[in-house]
Amino acid sequence: MKGKSIIGLMVIALSLTNAAYADFTFYSSTNDCKNVSGDWKGSGTASHWLIECAYQGSGTISELDREGGFKLDVEAHKLSGSSLCPQHTKHSLTGACVNGVVLVKTEYGNLSGYFSTDSGNSNGTLTVAPGIDVDVAIQFQRHGK
């Protein structure tokens, strides 16, 4: 039972929104940051061994400041997966965009990906505890598209 609880906590930590507690790195196809701000929606999975949770979520990236810094508000709802995964999660984060690279700092690692004006994707492996890695994949698009 203790092992299931640990796995559950890992999956919970990596729901679409909670995955935002990792370092996300997104690369703009235009090599600038003008397309970063705005409303985004997407879906993704967090998986570890036999557990996989699917989420649908949305987020808003504020206008960038002079240094490329921004605020990010994200929210996600579980579509399917283990009962150990949260049904809903919401977070406010900060990040930066420099030369087309977006970075949202968190404590578990990083996800890398690409985005254009209207869509993008990212994936990676996050270390949620020593020796425990979770694979995360996210596809997103501009909200309203």
What average pLDDT does the chain have? Answer: 75
DSSP category for residue 29: T
**Backbone angles phi and psi of 24, in degrees to 5:** -95, 135
Query: For the chain, how many structural domains are there in total?
Result: 1
Residue 22's CATH number: 2.40.128
Q: How far apart are CA 103 and CA 38, in angstroms?
A: 16
Domain that holds residue 9: 2-142
Mean pLDDT, rounded, for 21-27: 51
- Whole-model pTM over 0.75: no
Mean pLDDT computed over 78-91: 86
Which residue spans within 50-131 are E strands per DSSP? 51-61, 69-80, 88-98, 101-104, 110-115, 119-129
